[in-house]
């Protein structure tokens, strides 16, 4: 299972995905385990997080990244700067 990141995608692509219509999630600096019951696509508006998959290397995610987390992935979130993101489960 792999996290995919597209850094600074074109605004036209974000518009096609209707990212501005997705809900927003915010969280302060913290660390916690997470499990993805569904695939999640998110666009990071601000902040930074290091996500470490149960089976894999840590991944640094920051403002301007469009990220896809695969269904079924266990990981650990370490938010290093307060995070704000649009998200969509599918």
Q: Summarize pLDDT for 17-68 with one digit per residue, the tens.
A: 999 999 999 999 999 999 999 999 999 999 999 999 998 899 999 999 999 9
pTM above 0.75, yes or no: yes
- pLDDT at site 22: 98
pLDDT band at 89 (very low <50, low <70, confident <90, very high): very high
Domain ranges of the chain: 4-89
Instruction: Let me know if domain 4-89 sits in CATH 3.20.10.10.
Output: no
Residue 4 CA to residue 21 CA, distance in Å, equals: 21
């Amino acid at each position: 299972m792999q996290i995919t990141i597209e850094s600074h995608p074109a605004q036209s692509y974000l518009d096609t995905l209707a990212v501005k219509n997705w809900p927003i999630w915010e969280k302060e600096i913290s660390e916690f385990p997470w499990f993805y019951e569904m695939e999640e696509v998110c666009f990071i508006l601000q902040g930074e997080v290091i996500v470490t998959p149960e089976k894999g290397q840590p991944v640094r995610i920051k403002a301007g990244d469009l990220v896809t987390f695969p269904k079924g992935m266990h990981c650990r979130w370490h938010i290093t700067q307060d995070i704000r993101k649009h998200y969509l489960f599918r």
